[in-house]
Amino acid sequence: MKHLSELKHWKRGQEFLEVEYPIICGAMTWISDSKLVKAMSDAGGLGVLAAGNMPIELLENEINVLNELKASYAVNLITIAPNYQEHLKAVTRLGAPIVFFAGSFPRKSEIKAAKDSGVKTICFASTKSIAQRMIDYGADALVLEGSEAGGHIGYVSTVVLIQQVLFNFPEIPVFVAGGIATGKMMAHLFLMGAAGVQMGTIFAMAEESPAHPTFKERFKRARSREAFATPQYDSALPVVAVRAIKNKGTLEFGKLQLTLLEQLKKNEISRVEAQYKAEEYWAGALRRAVHEGDIEFGSLMAGQSVGLVNEIKSVKQIIQDLVAEAEEEFKHVQELLN
């Protein structure tokens, strides 16, 4: 009987990420710092440093720390962040092993600049056509992330993206994210061709996560249906949907959208300024939740998998439990086929 780790897809992800387990802790603003990333590396997975809108000096320091610790890691760059170009230069100059391009889609020249410096590139693909474009641009691997994920999300579920992207691009490693929190699901994703999985919510609750204890306790009590995606009220103010545990802060964001729309109608504010204020709201609210434990008005960004997670454990224990459960499920599948 085979082990899950003998599957070619598992090995593909393992070799690409250069880790023992092809399990990625997705980048989470205010949470995915060098401490959590190092814990993932020590446990055999891949941690992703969230560059967000970090001051360039702070990002450089975090990368230098991880390089000195000889950690396995990646850096997540937000292509629409004001500091993006400086962040990209820092990643290539300091020799980060892998870069994730998030937020929007990178230019072909930006992917090339990263690859020319020896950095592996991973791009998000929310449709089949975008996946093809990123491959044509030179991306080394793809991530499909379904709308079940936490934080800023797209509109298509993981199940549909698996059929649109994973099944159609066997020539490149594809990692799957969105709504994953069990080893059983991991096993079936590898059987379907995934080179690895990316999870966020489960690691936001880890002992090594810098999130406030009150934040973690709220996650423990949460149900999947509470991880609610904020709607866009009017196309005059395009906002990216954000999935978070519904609270008073969610309602306040709705009021903010109405206020901004009224200001737009009166030409008191430009659309760019309105969008900036909407994003500024989430950045501040998330920081209050993570650092101060404000679970009433802070942003509790979480995926729907929050309903599957009810323990606070070390990163090492989380990974060990996931892998053990995945191996057991793989064994069960083989028995069903005999």
- How would you write the pLDDT of the chain (338 residues) with one tens digit per residue? 789 999 999 999 999 999 999 999 999 999 999 999 999 999 999 999 999 888 999 999 999 999 999 999 999 999 988 889 999 999 999 999 999 999 889 999 999 999 999 999 999 998 899 999 999 999 999 999 999 999 888 889 999 999 999 999 999 999 999 999 999 999 999 999 999 999 999 999 999 999 999 999 999 999 999 999 988 888 888 888 889 999 999 889 889 999 999 999 999 999 888 888 888 888 889 999 999 999 999 999 999 999 999 999 999 999 999 999 999 999 999 999 98
| pLDDT for the residue numbered 103 | 85
SS3 198: strand
Residue 80, sorted as left (phi over 0), alpha (psi -120 to 50) or beta, turns out to be alpha
| pLDDT for the residue numbered 172 | 96
| pLDDT for the residue numbered 235 | 85
Q: Which of 240, 212, 243 is nearest to 305 (CA)?
A: 243
Instruction: Copy the structure tokens of residue 77.
Output: 């760059």
Q: Which of 11, 3, 25 is nearest to 319 (CA)?
A: 25
| pLDDT for the residue numbered 302 | 96
Enumerate the domain spans of the chain. Answer: 4-210+309-337, 223-301
| pLDDT for the residue numbered 148 | 96
Enumerate long-range contacts of 130-136, CB under 8 Å, 24 or more apart. 130/105, 131/164, 131/165, 131/168, 131/169, 132/169, 133/105, 134/105, 135/169, 135/171, 135/172, 136/108
Contact call for residues 73 and 48 (beta carbons, < 8 A):
yes
CATH architecture observed for domain 4-210+309-337: Alpha-Beta Barrel (3.20)
Please, what is the angle between helix 128-137 and helix 108-116, to 10°? 50
Contact call for residues 76 and 51 (beta carbons, < 8 A):
yes
| pLDDT for the residue numbered 146 | 95
For 147-195, the DSSP string reads TTSSEE--SS-HHHHHHHTGGG-TTS-EEEESS---HHHHHHHHHTT-S
Instruction: Copy the structure tokens of residue 126.
Output: 């929310």
Q: Is residue 5 exposed (0-12), middle (13-18) or buried (19+ Cβ within 10 Å)?
A: middle
| Residues 6 or more apart in contact with residue 215 via CB below 8 angstroms | 204, 289, 290, 293, 295, 298, 300
Side chain identity at 266, as an amino acid letter? K
| pLDDT for the residue numbered 132 | 96
SS3 48: strand
C-alpha distances (whole Å) from 205 to each of 4, 239, 308 are: 26, 27, 12
Instruction: Copy the structure tokens of residue 200.
Output: 């966020």
